Amino acid sequence: MDQGFDPLTLLIFAAAVFLAFRLRSVLGTRSGNEKRYDPVPPKDARPPEKPADDGVIVFPGRRPAADKSAEADSEPKAPAWTGFADEGSAVANGLQAIADADPSFTAKSFMDGARIAYEMIVTAFADADKKALKPLLSRDVFEGFAAAIDNRQRAGQTLELRFVGLNSAQIVNVELSDSRASVTVRYASDQVSATKAADGTVIDGDPQKVVEVTDVWTFERDLKSRDPNWKLVATEAVA
Domain-embedded: residue 199:
yes
Of 109, 125, 101, residue with least CA distance to 225: 101
Instruction: Detail the DSSP E strand segments found in the chain.
Output: 158-177, 180-196, 202-205, 211-222, 231-238
Those residues of the chain that have pLDDT short of 50 are 1-3, 5-58, 60-66, 68-72
Domain-embedded: residue 53:
no
* Range 155-191 burial, b when 16+ CB lie within 10 A, else e: eeebbebebeebeebebeebebeeeebbbbbbbebeb
CATH number for 230: 3.10.450.240
- Which neighbouring-strand residues pair with 161? 193
pLDDT at 17: 45
Cis amide bond preceding 41, omega within 30:
no
Q: What's the rounded Cα separation, in Å, for the pair 207 and 70?
A: 50
Summarised one tens digit per residue, pLDDT across range 69-99 is: 444 455 677 899 999 999 999 999 999 999 9
Range of the domain at 138: 88-238
pLDDT at 47: 40
Domain-embedded: residue 48:
no
Domain-embedded: residue 218:
yes
pLDDT at 75: 63
Total domains in the fold of the chain:
1
